[in-house]
Structure formats: C-alpha cells, structure tokens
Amino acid sequence: MKKIATTLSCLMLMTQLSFGQSREDDILNPIAESKVLLGFKVGPSIALGEFSKIAASSEKAGLAKTGIQLNANLRYLLTKSFYLIIEAGYSSNPIDEDELGLPIKKLVASNVSVSVASKSWSAKTFNVGAGTRTAIDVETYFLTKFAIGLQNMASPSYIITLSNGQTTQLLHQSSSTANALNFTLGASIMTKINPTTHFSIGLDYLTAMQDFEGIAVNSSINGSSAGPTEFFDSSQNIETISITIGVYIKI
C-alpha cells in the first residue's frame, strides 16, 4: 500500500508540475495559443508623393487629400515568430477641388464664377503576405508585414461649372478603373485585451502604378453639347500611408 501511495503521490506531483508549466507557457505566450486571428482595422489614408501633389498643371499630380482606410484580415501563426496573412482593404481619398479649378479661374473673366464637384479616388485591394512577431512583454507584440496583391482603383470624375449669370458651361471628366499590383509594408503593436480579443495600432505603406484608359472629357453650354467627346489615357503613381487602429479576435 505504501508503494502505491508513493506512486500516486509522484503522479500527482508530476501532474501539478505539468499543469504549472502549461499555465506558465500560456502566460508567457498569450497570443501564441491563438493560431488564427481575424482582424478589422480603420484609420486615415494619407496620400504621399505624386499622388498628393497639388499642382493641377502637372500631369503626374494626383491632387489626393487625406481620406479613409478600411481593412479586414486573417492571420495564421506558423511559429511564435512568423505568420501568414490574407487581407482585403478599401480606401477613399478626396481630391483638392480648389486646386483643380484654379487654372480655369486664372483664365476666365472676373465676372465668371467657377465651381467644382468631384468624386474621390477609391481603391479595393486583396493581398497575401507574411510577417514577423517579436514579444515586447508577456501580453504585447511588435509585428512587421510584407504583402503583395491586386489593387482595383477608380479615378475621380468631376464637373467644373462656369457661369456668368446668362451662360453656363459644364466641363465633365469621367472616371476610369484600372488594376495593378500593389506592394505593402507594415508595422504594428498588438496587445491582449482578454483571452479572445487583442487591440492593435499600426502603420501601412502602400505603393502601386495605375494606368487608366479611356477617360472621357466633354463640355456643354446651357445644356447643349459644345463639341465631341474626347478620350485620353493617364498614369498615376499611388502612394499612401495608413495609420490604423484595430481589433483582432481569436477564431
């Protein structure tokens, strides 16, 4: 009986030690146990470079202003230090209407009013990538990301209205859509809120070169066409930085 009691005592001690070690691993790696995380992020989309250039006289100027970025993604942990990611995003950047109408205002008489109504640059992205993860403390990680994928973008349409009270002329440029590869680099900090939820704040840089074809331009005077519709092609270098906050859920 003594031998059996000793054996049972040893087994109980081993069980406690194993449970204690497992618990310690969970505390030290609160996110490591979550192999798959579903994330949602939102924040401003800040235009850079030629995309943000506000010289309407330049063919390369995108006239893009700060807009919004939405993102949904799925992360799968390969190891404690590496993960894979699939993500889909949407961004919208309005254009500088004052700058767009400025060259025309300089050409027309002072009694002619000039107004501009425009749509925004809008883009949808679908990317795949990989990243690294480094522990900052027991509940917080620093993550990096590299992703590549498809960006579907629509250029902004706009209408410029010129009026002197008697005659109204409308200048209209249509939107065009294009597809191109985009590259994304990112960095973020993720921290645990509760056993199933994590909070993140991060920064993503995106770049792509879009070629738009068949952009239509036409004009009318007092409702009647002022000439044939003309078409042209245009290229735009897209660069943005998105600063986002998000929530990740263990699934």
CA separation, residue 168 to residues 116, 135, 141, 171 (Å): 13, 64, 60, 10
DSSP string, 37-101: EEEEEEEEEEE-HHHH---TTSTT---B--EEEEEEEEEEESSSSEEEEEEEEEEEE-B-HHHHH
- Split at pLDDT 50, 70, 90, the class of 57 is low
Determine the pLDDT at residue 17.
38
What are residue 166's phi and psi, to 5 degrees?
-115, -35
**In angstroms, rounded to a whole number, what is the distance separating the alpha carbons of residues 158 and 57?**
16
Q: Where are the alpha helices (DSSP H) in the chain?
A: 2-28, 49-52, 97-107
DSSP string, 179-208: EEEEEEEEEEEEEEEETTEEEEEEEEEEEE
Determine the pLDDT at residue 23.
40
Q: Is the pLDDT of residue 219 over 90?
A: yes
**In angstroms, rounded to a whole number, what is the distance separating the alpha carbons of residues 244 and 91?**
12
User: Among 131, 30, 74, 70, which Cα is nearest to 251's?
Assistant: 74
**In angstroms, rounded to a whole number, what is the distance separating the alpha carbons of residues 160 and 173?**
9
**In angstroms, rounded to a whole number, what is the distance separating the alpha carbons of residues 163 and 184?**
45
Q: Of all residues in the chain, what percent carry a pLDDT higher than 70? A: 86
- Cβ proximity of 179 and 228 under 8 Å: no
Determine the pLDDT at residue 55.
72
For the question of whether the overall pTM of this predicted structure is more than 0.85, the answer is no
- Cβ proximity of 94 and 153 under 8 Å: no
Determine the pLDDT at residue 56.
59
- Cβ proximity of 202 and 244 under 8 Å: yes
Q: Is the pLDDT of residue 190 over 60?
A: yes
Can you tell me the mean pLDDT for 134-148? 96
Burial of residue 248 (CB within 10 Å: 0-12, 13-18, 19+) is buried
- Split at pLDDT 50, 70, 90, the class of 33 is low
What kind of architecture, by CATH, is found in domain 35-250?
Beta Barrel (2.40)
Domain boundaries, the chain: 1-30, 35-250
Token couple for 76: 């799968």
Determine the pLDDT at residue 103.
86
Q: pLDDT tens for residues 175-188?
A: 999 999 999 999 99
Q: pLDDT tens for residues 87-116?
A: 999 999 999 999 899 888 888 888 999 999
Between the ranges 6-15, 17-26, 89-98, where is the mean pLDDT highest? 89-98
